[in-house]
Amino acid sequence: MRTVEARELSTITGERVRLPAPDGLTHLQFRRYAGCPICNMHLRTIAARHEEIRAAGVHEIVVFHSCAEDMLPHQGLLPFAAIADPGRRLYAEFGVETSAGAVLHPRAWTTPMRPGSWPVVARGLRRGGRPYPTGGETVLGLPADFLIDPGGQILSHRYGRHAGDQWEVDELLLLAARAGTQAGPATRTHPA
């Protein structure tokens, strides 16, 4: 897939969001299950620099293969759109897969072992969230990132090789800057 068909998505708080954003770039993130400590630590860094990301003309949309009820305690206060996709339809459309490597890779264990990750998880637990997958969720989900222009063209993408393999904010900002200055896409891919 090189182009994304325009559509509206419903967030976990009931708001509507356009994909792709008509007035800037869209960073579409696919994460794992709602209580994933790796995902929630990563989203904390995105939220902390959200104003900087917006100033670069980038709209954030994060998707989890969890239901909205499970996501609200963990992602309900994010300053950007959070989408529930328990049926994994968007995951299938964008080719985001699962793999035992998601949790077996040594780098996947560095985030959950850091002391700073547990307050993030505890905050979600205090709001009624679960730290483990439920229903159709899986710990074997892989992350993926897509940078999409207003016309729906995928400018850059990355399929994570393990649970902690996603774009950091500085990398996202660099890709957004390149998208504004280059005629062609700057793509870094990792096949799943």
User: How far is residue 96's CA from residue 157's CA, in Å, rounded to a whole number?
Assistant: 11
Whether residue 132 is predicted with pLDDT greater than 70 in this model: the reply is no
Query: Residue 141: which pLDDT band, with cuts at 50, 70 and 90?
Result: confident
In this prediction, residue 189 carries a pLDDT of 42
Point out which residues pair with 3 in neighbouring strands: 153
Domain ranges of the chain: 7-181
Q: Which of 148, 151, 145, 157 is nearest to 189 (CA)?
A: 157
CATH superfamily of 7-181: Glutaredoxin (3.40.30.10)
How many of the other CB atoms lie within 10 Å of CB of 45? 12
Q: Which of 56, 44, 116 is nearest to 80 (CA)?
A: 44
Whether residue 128 is predicted with pLDDT greater than 60 in this model: the reply is no
Going through 16-161 in order, the beta strands assigned E by DSSP cover 16-19, 25-30, 58-64, 81-84, 144-148, 154-159
Q: pLDDT digit string (tens) for 63-118?
A: 999 999 999 998 999 999 999 999 999 999 999 987 666 655 556 555 555 556 55
